[in-house]
Structure 1
Amino acid sequence: MFVVVGEALVDLVGQRGSRTLVAHPGGSPANVALGLARLGDPVSLITSLGRDSLGEMVAGHLTASGVRVDRGPDAGTKTSLAVASLAAGVAAYDFRIEWDIGDLAPLPVETRCLHTGSLATALAPGAAHVRDLLERERERGRVTISYDPNVRPGLLGQPEDARPGIEHLVSLSDVVKVSDEDLRWLHPDRRDVDVARDWLALGAPLVVVTRGGDGVLALTAGLELDRPATPIDLVDTVGAGDSFTAGLLDGLGRADLIGGARRDALAAIDEASLISVLDDASLIASITCSRPGADPPTRAEVETARSARPSTRQSTPG
């Protein structure tokens, strides 16, 4: 079972040619949980979600796809908002968010992978509880820990202030997915591949960098792979990176590389297996990019798209 810890919120997205804002369920961790569920994986989302009408909309959206939602402590919490403005299909966000999740209980015994990231690991007071959970689970060694910083510069202050906390979480993780845009903000004077190598040296067995139209870079102790991007009919990029993360984790699970006991096997993944996982994750992200909002594909949609894909496999970035 996958457990995702992090924010669930409402994206208010502007429409082309209109001043109207349309409400879509969102939040990076929630989108990852949704993507995993639609791919057929059992998944639980631990979050902080209001009991207001927006919270009911988000919870209903997630549970309809099979996500088990733990809405967290009820202390009058209001559902958080992200106002997304689109330029050439690329979203920029203005957040109105509360993140107070309280003490987190030990994960269920059947958990094989814990994923977190984004605002959940950056905003007080909840971020400290998430960090404590990761530290406990790393010490126990029972689960694969997955992390996506999903940097939001407007909420993090200066890069030099944010780097230590982010890189501490990298050191606790087994799978790190990060965008080249995030790395440019964190390390503006360095190449993404050099930062990724440093993060690998911190202890993460697998680091994956998505590069938009320039494809995907993946690093392990024995491999450095560049996968080219595949052209897509872009509608918008909302949720694309989260769909990639869901596809990445799903693929690693299907390759039997998820779970604390499989950490060494994950670190030693062979080139063919890693290419297959990356390309499927990229295909999943490309489907999300082809339609509005964070709307990841189902397993059936992925199988249909895979059967229509050329035999020479390429990836689409998340």
Structure 2
Amino acid sequence: MRAQDLTSEPLPTQDPVVTVIGESLVDIIVDPRTAGPAEAHPGGSPMNVAVGSARLGLATSLVTHYAHDPNGLLIGRHLHSNGVSVIRGGSAPTSTATATLGPDGAAAYTFDISWDLNGASLAALAAVQTSAHVHTGSIASVLPPGDQATLTLLDAAKEAATTSYDPNCRPAISPDVAAARSQAELFVASSDIVKASDEDLTWLYPYRTPEESLAAWLELGPSLVALTRGAAGPVILTHQGRVEMAAESIAVADTVGAGDSFMAALIAGLAQLQALGAAGRPKLRTLTSADVHALAGYANRAAAITCSRPGANPPHAAELGHLSPTALVKGA
């Protein structure tokens, strides 16, 4: 029987395929382009990844924090409706992030957030040790006191699970770039898969290009590193080579949650390639060019679907379809 403590929601009756560790919060979307009122949506990068993973057919648990307050109830309903099992710690009020949209739909954030897993350590440890894959990142990897618990859980998962990390840097939360850089490199070194945006890497390493930083991260230990570049499309590096792909042409509603949908689709695509978990790690380390092209296209399409509609609203499996590892990009 799994260890569980009083602050945790009931765990699923079967071990999850994916466990995500990180913040849940309410995104308050302010769009100056319209005359409408601000809208409240459940959010937080790790929570978005968990919902995206579940929508793509993976049994998913989320180790997180939110309170029994109106914002927390909104989050709880959202997770339940998407089939995400919750392990919940901490005691602070539910966190919020206000996203103000620019003319191009890109979001600038301000935060009222805390991150603490106190009271959920036993259930969280049981979840990561019985998962095929564990993902974390964003505020959960930099904000005390929960950041060290997050890294400990990621390390505890590695014997049985593959692991992934997305820094999703928030300078408003962690303004000390040297400290954020050091912390990011700890998580990169503990991860099999890493995804970052060009904005993340430009902030962390202003003295080199984002792709140079991505390549340096690959040398820290991951098998696959991915760079998202907005309208320029993604780049994926492995020890076997490099794949670049143009972004899909769409009408952008906003970019909220697009990177998280890309991350969830990377995980789901690798699951289809049987490249998750300890048994899948050799496959992950030796992905073919066709595999990586298919993976990039799958994640790229997930991000595009999310950008085509308001808020962090990742695609379902029926919308995205299946990965096609034998379909190489034309001209590749």
For residues 19 and 186 of structure 1, the distance between their equivalents in structure 2, rounded to whole angstroms, comes to 36
Indicate which of 64, 89, 95 corresponds to 2:111: 95
Q: Is 1:104 aligned with 2:121?
A: yes
Q: SS at the partner of 2:312?
A: coil
Q: Is 1:36 aligned with 2:53?
A: yes
Indicate which of 114, 136, 152 corresponds to 1:132: 152
Q: Is 1:79 aligned with 2:94?
A: yes
Name the aligned partner's letter for residue 112 of structure 1.
A
- Note the residue ranges of structure 2 that are not aligned, 5 or more in a row: 1-16
The residue aligned with 2:5 is: none
Indicate which of 211, 225, 235 corresponds to 1:217: 235
Q: CA deviation at 1:312?
A: 8.5
Kindly indicate whether the alpha-carbon contact (under 8 Å) linking 2:294 and 2:328 is maintained by their aligned counterparts in 1.
Answer: no
For residues 182 and 69 of structure 1, the distance between their equivalents in structure 2, rounded to whole angstroms, comes to 28
For residues 255 and 264 of structure 1, the distance between their equivalents in structure 2, rounded to whole angstroms, comes to 12
Q: CA deviation at 1:287?
A: 0.5
Q: CA deviation at 1:69?
A: 1.5
The residue aligned with 1:263 is: 281
The residue aligned with 1:13 is: 29
What's the TM-score, normalizing by structure 2? 0.88
The residue aligned with 2:82 is: 65
The residue aligned with 2:3 is: none
For residues 329 and 28 of structure 2, the distance between their equivalents in structure 1, rounded to whole angstroms, comes to 35
The residue aligned with 1:176 is: 194
What's the TM-score, normalizing by structure 1? 0.92
Cα-to-partner distance string for 1:149-202 (whole Å, 9 max, x where unaligned): 000011212322211111011000000000011000011120122111111111
Indicate which of 7, 18, 28 corresponds to 1:2: 18
Alignment of 1:283-302 (within 5 A): 283-302=301-320
Q: SS at the partner of 2:305?
A: helix
Cα-to-partner distance string for 1:280-303 (whole Å, 9 max, x where unaligned): 111111000000000111111223
For residues 78 and 130 of structure 1, the distance between their equivalents in structure 2, rounded to whole angstroms, comes to 20
For residues 130 and 183 of structure 2, the distance between their equivalents in structure 1, rounded to whole angstroms, comes to 29
Q: SS at the partner of 1:165?
A: helix
For residues 217 and 273 of structure 1, the distance between their equivalents in structure 2, rounded to whole angstroms, comes to 14
Indicate which of 140, 143, 155 corresponds to 2:161: 143
For residues 211 and 17 of structure 1, the distance between their equivalents in structure 2, rounded to whole angstroms, comes to 27
Q: SS at the partner of 2:49?
A: helix
Kindly indicate whether the alpha-carbon contact (under 8 Å) linking 2:142 and 2:174 is maintained by their aligned counterparts in 1.
Answer: yes
Q: SS at the partner of 1:78?
A: coil
Q: SS at the partner of 1:276?
A: helix
Kindly indicate whether the alpha-carbon contact (under 8 Å) linking 1:207 and 1:220 is maintained by their aligned counterparts in 2.
Answer: yes
Name the aligned partner's letter for residue 100 of structure 1.
D
Alignment of 1:235-250 (within 5 A): 235-250=253-268
Kindly indicate whether the alpha-carbon contact (under 8 Å) linking 2:306 and 2:315 is maintained by their aligned counterparts in 1.
Answer: yes
Indicate which of 157, 165, 187 corresponds to 2:175: 157
Name the aligned partner's letter for residue 239 of structure 1.
G
